[in-house]
Structure 1
């Protein structure tokens, strides 16, 4: 089976680095035209240049900005057939005791992971419906299925909420030819934040983590991209509302 995205346009968020960039590269290599989005404008510009892609530096937690971006694309005949929301993450936060969490820290993570996913789907779905088909894939996390290794309460809560959004939108959008799925990665060293988390574990913690994985290795951004591309493909037309754990197996 060979995945072919020729003639398809994909909107990939979080594409400045790591998993988002790996997904964008995979889609481009399989023939898709790309629009890349990230709040990191310098990294985004580098990705867009390397991948010959359009790009937008947008705060995806801003509903008006998201709708304006998708409207601009639609006006150019570039409304996405595929939406991959890989942006989000911990926003540089670290685990802290419950009593230390303030409103800004809590809401910042929800805006990036949950609000953004909803506004993007809200803006893109009508254009997919008009075409009679569409694919939405959200990058969640193992933290959306169990407690988070990061120790960040807002992060695990947000990823659980993202899983809920995926399942609800799959129900609502399925009759319109739009599938909605999620990939839930295990721990992947793919950006400066995950590198800091890895170092903070220390040698013993790193060894315990690897030993808890059935395959006895950490995943890569390319592992996550491969699963995402399948769910975004025509071959996955009868798969929706699913949360695919890509974590090497966990004990």
Structure 2
């Protein structure tokens, strides 16, 4: 199947590691140009050697900072065809009792998972409207469809909110030829935070998680990237407002 991404410009947030980095590499392999965005400037360095990749570091959680960074991308690289919002995650947090959750922890996860996706979509949608086409793919989670395996209240709530934002943007932007979809990964060992969570589960809980997956294995960052690439392609031109679970089959 030909995805027809040659020379199209995509923006990928959360590009420095894990799922985001795998998406960047997958897009490059399909001939796309990529603006890789992340708050971790040093983490973007390994992407510098990839053809067609331009790195931008900055905080996307505030509207002003996000708009400025997105504007820099357009000024330097030209019109953006697609946006993939992989920024997010648990930000190093682990489960704790409801009574122990502090406001800064709650805000940090919402800023990373929901706010960044909103402000970047707001920044790039006008250009896509002008072009009459575009792709937006958010990275949500199984935790956006059901209670979270991690037990982190803010993460579950934020991913549910991101699914809602995805569906709302699909309704609003569809008439302009812009598709908006989400990929909802199952448990993927893709970065230090997810590895920390996995270790915290302990052997018995780890076995339960794997046995609850039809394929009897955890996912990889590349598994998620493959689904994203399809939704970014011309082959997915009549798919919008959907949440694609990529979780190996969840019992």
Asked if TM exceeds 0.5, the reply is yes
Match of 2:114 in 1: 114
Match of 1:188 in 2: 188
Q: Give, in whole Å, the separation in 2 of the partners of 1:87 and 1:246.
A: 17
**Contact kept? 1:25, 1:51, Cα under 8 Å:** no
Unmatched 5+ stretches in structure 1: none
- Three-state SS of the structure 2 residue aligned to 1:76 is helix
4-13 or 183-192, larger mean C-alpha shift: 4-13
Residues 31-70 of structure 1 mapped to structure 2, 5 A cutoff = 31-70=31-70
Q: Give, in whole Å, the separation in 2 of the partners of 1:51 and 1:94.
A: 37
199-208 or 175-184, larger mean C-alpha shift: 199-208
**Contact kept? 2:188, 2:218, Cα under 8 Å:** yes
> Structure 1 residue 176: deviation in Å?
0.6
Match of 1:177 in 2: 177
**Contact kept? 1:215, 1:249, Cα under 8 Å:** yes
Match of 1:130 in 2: 130
Is residue 205 from structure 1 mapped to residue 208 from structure 2 by the alignment? Answer: no
Unmatched 5+ stretches in structure 2: none
Q: Give, in whole Å, the separation in 1 of the partners of 2:137 and 2:167.
A: 11
**Contact kept? 1:60, 1:66, Cα under 8 Å:** yes
- Three-state SS of the structure 1 residue aligned to 2:48 is helix
> Structure 1 residue 41: deviation in Å?
1.0
Q: Give, in whole Å, the separation in 1 of the partners of 2:51 and 2:216.
A: 32
* Cα 1:139–1:130 shift into 2, 3 Å: same
> Structure 1 residue 96: deviation in Å?
1.0
> Structure 1 residue 7: deviation in Å?
2.1
**Contact kept? 1:70, 1:79, Cα under 8 Å:** no
Which deviations, in whole Å up to 9, do the C-alpha atoms of 1:54-87 show, x marking residues without a partner? Answer: 1111111011111112222222342320100001
TM-score, L = length of structure 1: 0.97
Q: Give, in whole Å, the separation in 1 of the partners of 2:18 and 2:235.
A: 25
Match of 1:15 in 2: 15
**Aligned pairs, number:** 251
Q: Give, in whole Å, the separation in 2 of the partners of 1:80 and 1:52.
A: 14
Q: Give, in whole Å, the separation in 2 of the partners of 1:164 and 1:48.
A: 34
TM-score, L = length of structure 2: 0.97
Q: Give, in whole Å, the separation in 2 of the partners of 1:225 and 1:123.
A: 23
- Three-state SS of the structure 2 residue aligned to 1:155 is helix
Q: Give, in whole Å, the separation in 2 of the partners of 1:74 and 1:193.
A: 31
Is residue 151 from structure 1 mapped to residue 151 from structure 2 by the alignment? Answer: yes
Q: Give, in whole Å, the separation in 2 of the partners of 1:210 and 1:75.
A: 46
Which deviations, in whole Å up to 9, do the C-alpha atoms of 1:2-61 show, x marking residues without a partner? Answer: 222112001001111100000110000000001001111111122233455111111110
Q: Give, in whole Å, the separation in 2 of the partners of 1:100 and 1:51.
A: 46
Match of 1:96 in 2: 96
Match of 1:245 in 2: 245
Q: Give, in whole Å, the separation in 1 of the partners of 2:77 and 2:195.
A: 39
237-246 or 66-75, larger mean C-alpha shift: 66-75
Superposed CA RMSD in Å reads 1.1
